[in-house]
Amino acid sequence: MRFLPVSLTVLIVELKNLDETLALFASLEAEPVHGIIDIVPAARTLMIRFSPETLTAQGLAAAISQRDLTAKIAPSDMQVEIPVTYDGEDLKDVAELTGLSIAEVIERHTASEFTVAFCGFAPGFGYLVGGDPALQVPRRQSPRTKIPAGSVALAGAFSGVYPQASPGGWQIIGTTPLKMWDLTRQPPALFQPGYRVRFVDLAKRPQTVGAAEPAETASTEAIQPTKATTITVTAAPMPALVQDLGRFGQAGQGVSSSGALDQGAFRSANRTVGNPVEAACLEITLGGFSFAVSGPTVMALTGAPCPISIRDRAGRVIAVEGYQPISLEAGDTVSLGFAARGARSYLAFRGGLDVAPVLGSASTDTLAVVGPDPVGVGAVLAIANGERGLSSVSLNESPAFDCPAPGEIVTLDVVMGPRSDWFTERGIETLASQVYEVTPQSNRVGIRLAGAEPLERKDKAELPSEGTATGAIQVPHSGQPVLFLADHPLTGGYPVIGTVAEYHLDLAGQIPVNAKIQFRPITRFAEIVPDRA
């Protein structure tokens, strides 16, 4: 085993092959190590998040290094049949890469029996192994920003189906109409580890497949208006998102934690109105949001500073400040100006939003399409009217940092690893010295960066998919890095040169488009050496 640093609270265990990886994962599931928070299995690695109050990285490595890796996972007797229209935009490229005709690619793909090795990247995305070796092709040189739901694709030794529209770098060979992820189904993911999978060519066997469901994630009505005080949204240039502290413990289904990007500002908003710090709030991007209230309540706005004005029923308008409790009465309309600094503001109401949790959390995951629907014009949200868990409002909240503005340079501390050794010395120096521009293609999944000099790799080797942490700086073949934020895919197939330190993640979540980022490594890359008794 190799133990590689990811961040101050995450490491990767690298093993020889998929069999060893699954054996170690089964061992840790059967006999957990106290202090492990979450495990993300992948092709030949386990990414493990641990509690630094309980474990050190060296102590965790020592506990894991003694585990038996010879156990085999029992195959499942479940088989799933996936109908496919082989019309993918990369089908011709796959044929050229493999030296096969398009017909031969389709024939070999449908003739294979696959097994779901593990789930990752996104909810319902199963990594399928066991296909024809002749179909092993590299990922695209640069990932697409959006791949349609239901896309059947290849990458390396794996085949898979994209459950939702999402970014991705796999080679698309076809589409299926089946839902891969459906919250109304138990379990929601059609692919489960161990399941056997066969693909069926609809052009040859249309009569064997009935009417299929559309390949999109089911909408979840998580917010139900009640007789309690409600807000009605009257302006939303960008839909707001319901967020809380995140959705944990769902990595086995391919679901990331998500949650508020600036968790300090989120907690502050809740403290300001006297809520428990985990109560659901609205995350508003760049301001411009407006709403009317049906009854008395108390609100607070934190994070990216926006001008706040309140118009009452009589037409009087007053201006108020952020980071303080604001009393509202029935008929009041609250309008937020646009944020000149930062990217995200947090709007809390005393009692919290009355939101039904999805998989244990009220967070909206934009990549996974899990959680409450985005909140746009006309949406009506209920405010919970219970008193349990409420405390006095806070009058002494303040920002943890000044939000950056477009054009400003933000310095982020970086822990080097787990794949720093895939880059040349020049590539490492470039990461630390170059100033990157934040591009308009950035969102809650990640910040896409543009630098004058690409990060130089030692070679063009393919990385087997492995877990990625929030803050990971992933580098596709283009050499232009992507900084992963809270809605990032759980696994990825491009090397991560370093990961932003946890204490700078809130700041990263407030960086607007056209700001600049400079990375400051705070460690030198080195393998983790297990403690010896």
pLDDT score of 265 more than 80: yes
Structure tokens at 441: 């293609």
In three-state secondary structure terms, 189 is: strand
Picking from 140-149, 268-277, 336-345, which range would have the lowest pLDDT averaged per residue? Answer: 140-149
The per-residue pLDDT for 259 is: 97
In three-state secondary structure terms, 270 is helix
Q: What is the arithmetic mean of pLDDT over 215-234?
A: 62
The confidence score (pLDDT) of residue 225 equals 42
Give tens-digit pLDDT for 331-377: 999 999 999 999 999 999 999 999 999 989 999 999 878 999 999 99
Q: What is the pTM of this model?
A: 0.86
Band of the pLDDT at 249, cuts 50, 70, 90? confident
Least confident range from 7-11, 86-90, 140-144, 480-484: namely: 140-144
Question: 478 φ, ψ to 5°?
Answer: -65, -20
Q: Taking the mean position of all CA atoms in its chain, how far away is CA 94?
A: 28
Distances 409 to 10, 282, 413, 511 between C-alpha atoms, Å: 27, 27, 13, 10
Number of residues in the chain: 533
Average pLDDT of every residue of the chain: 92
**CA distance linking residue 310 with residue 276, whole number of Å:** 26
> Which band of pLDDT confidence, cut at 50, 70 and 90, is reported for residue 518?
very high
Average pLDDT score over residue span 307-318 = 97
Res 74: pLDDT: 66
Average pLDDT of the residues in 247-255:
79
193 compared with 309, residue with greater pLDDT: 309
Average pLDDT over residues 165-182: 92
- CA–CA distance, 256 with 231 (Å, rounded to integer): 29
* Residue 318 burial (10 A CB sphere; 0-12, 13-18, 19+): exposed
Band of residue 254 on the pLDDT scale cut at 50, 70, 90: confident
Per-residue confidence (pLDDT) for residue 18, from 0 to 100: 86
- Output the six-digit token pair for 179: 């839902």
For 29-48, what is each residue's pLDDT tens digit? 889 999 999 899 888 999 99
Report the distance separating Cα 339 and Cα 305, nearest Å: 6
- What is the per-residue pLDDT for 505? 98
The confidence score (pLDDT) of residue 262 equals 98
- Is pLDDT at 224 greater than 90 in this prediction? no
pLDDT of residue 73: 65
The pLDDT of residue 385 is above 70: yes
Q: Is the pLDDT of residue 217 over 90?
A: no
Task: List the domains of the chain with CATH numbers.
Answer: 2-65 (3.30.1360.40), 79-208 (2.40.100.10), 230-382 (no CATH)
Q: What is the 3-state secondary structure (H, E, C) of 170-185?
A: CEEEEECCCCCECCCC
pLDDT one-digit tens code per residue, 392-409: 999 999 999 999 999 999
What is the pLDDT averaged over residues 288-306? 98
Summarize the confidence of residues 307-333 as an average pLDDT. 97
Confidence (pLDDT) at 132: 96
Q: What is the pLDDT of residue 435?
A: 98
Predicted confidence at residue 167, as pLDDT, reads 80
The confidence score (pLDDT) of residue 188 equals 87
Residue 420 in this model has a pLDDT that exceeds 60: yes
- pLDDT given at position 250: 79
